[in-house]
């Protein structure tokens, strides 16, 4: 829960220091600076609002999911675990290319490990910085981690995949039943409810604002990505 300025990083479990400088000589004077709230403890983390956003889409092999945290204070270290249903989802390999810190967490480093048999993805937010200013997840709200999963089996509108975010000590922070969307064939129907209306426009705006991940449904113009041109295409289709 503390960071040792210029001399290394405290492991957080009371065991040891890491990343000492190469040469510490007898007689050297030490200065230790404590950064408070570097790691949110269980009680503090539970005060934040954690969650996921994203949906599986029938006909696509992969799904992108955002791990979100709302109303958090700043923190620079965290040990988290994402529990998933291995009968429906598998993290896309290699992990380091398909798990990314995003938005206000993008200055930190992410260490990950997957136990596919147990359906548990371990995530450590950390930093190798040893001097101020230490990078951190800024206080605020929004997505902090992008995760990509491979979808196993055939999806229907009734398919769901359970996700849970926990602290490393097992404290549950949030659960999410990720839905599956089956494309209706209606151009601009981003929500896959059989029609294109103002709620689909709002969903595209959420994607463009970084609030929810893109999918093949939000790619209205079919160029393989979701950007401002999909918004313009949606407006063109809606105006017909």
Domain containing residue 211: CATH number: 1.10.1330
Task: Please tell me what DSSP assigns to residue 178.
Answer: E
Same domain, 150 and 223: no
CATH of the domain at 120: 2.60.40.680
Is 51 inside a domain boundary?
Answer: yes
Residues 212 and 98 reside in one and the same domain: no
The torsion angle over the Cα atoms of residues 209, 139, 78 and 23, rounded to 10 degrees, is: 120
Backbone angles phi, psi at 125, to 5 degrees: -90, 125
Rounded Cα distance, 1 and 10, in Å: 7
> 143, 163, 182 — which closes off a domain?
182
Residues 112, 202: one domain?
no
Give the pLDDT of residue 237.
Answer: 84
Q: Is residue 29 part of a domain?
A: no
Residue 189 resides in a domain: yes
* 169 & 197 share domain: no
* Whole-number pLDDT of residue 47: 85
pLDDT of residue 168: 85
Q: Rounded to 5 degrees, what angle do the CA atoms 199, 69, 60 make?
A: 55
pLDDT at residue number 36: 46
Residues 221 and 175 in one domain: no
Structural domains in the chain (count): 2
Q: Give the pLDDT confidence score for residue 17 in this predicted structure.
A: 42
User: At which of 164, 182, 200 does a domain end?
Assistant: 182
Last residue of some domain: 182, 203, 226? 182
What integer pLDDT is reported at residue 127 of this predicted model? 85
Considering the domain architecture, whether residues 65 and 167 belong to the same structural domain is answered as yes
* Residue 65 domain boundaries: 42-182
The verdict on 50 and 119 lying in the same domain is yes
Residues 170 and 211 in one domain: no
Q: Are 19 and 131 in contact (CB under 8 A)?
A: no
pLDDT given at position 2: 37
Positions of the chain with pLDDT lower than 70, given as ranges? 1-42, 240
Bridge-based pairing state of the strands 17-18 and 62-72: unpaired
> Would you give the DSSP letter of residue 75?
B
Same domain, residue pair 138 and 215: no
On whether both 165 and 190 belong to a single domain, the answer is no
On whether both 84 and 128 belong to a single domain, the answer is: yes
Residue 142 lies in a domain: yes
In the numeric block, the tokens 């200013």 are attached to 133
In a domain, 63, yes or no: yes
Is-above-0.85 flag for pTM?
no
Q: Are residues 175 and 56 in the same domain?
A: yes
- Does a structural domain hold residue 161? yes
Provide the b/e sequence for 69-85 (b: ≥16 CB within 10 Å): beebeebbbbbbbbbbb
């Amino acid at each position: 829960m503390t960071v040792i300025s210029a001399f290394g990083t405290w492991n957080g479990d009371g065991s040891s220091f890491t990343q000492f400088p190469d040469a510490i000589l007898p007689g050297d004077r030490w200065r230790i600076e404590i950064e408070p709230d570097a790691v949110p403890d269980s009680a503090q983390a539970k005060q934040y609002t954690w969650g996921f956003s994203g949906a599986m889409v029938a006909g696509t092999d992969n799904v992108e999911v955002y791990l979100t945290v709302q109303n958090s204070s700043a923190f620079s270290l965290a040990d988290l675990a994402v529990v998933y249903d291995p009968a429906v989802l598998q993290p896309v390999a290699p992990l380091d290319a398909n798990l990314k810190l995003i938005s206000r967490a993008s200055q930190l480093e992410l260490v990950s490990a997957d136990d596919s048999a147990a359906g548990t993805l371990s995530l450590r937010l950390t930093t190798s910085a040893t001097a101020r200013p230490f990078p951190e997840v800024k206080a605020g709200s929004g997505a902090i981690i992008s995760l990509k999963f491979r979808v196993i089996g055939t999806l229907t509108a009734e398919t769901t995949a359970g996700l849970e975010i926990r602290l490393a000590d097992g404290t549950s922070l949030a659960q999410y039943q990720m839905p599956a969307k089956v494309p209706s064939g209606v151009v601009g129907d981003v929500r896959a409810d059989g029609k294109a209306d103002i709620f689909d426009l709002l969903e595209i705006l959420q994607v463009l604002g970084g609030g929810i991940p893109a999918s093949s449904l939000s790619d209205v113009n079919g160029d393989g990505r979701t950007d401002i041109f999909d918004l313009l295409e949606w407006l063109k289709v809606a105006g017909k």
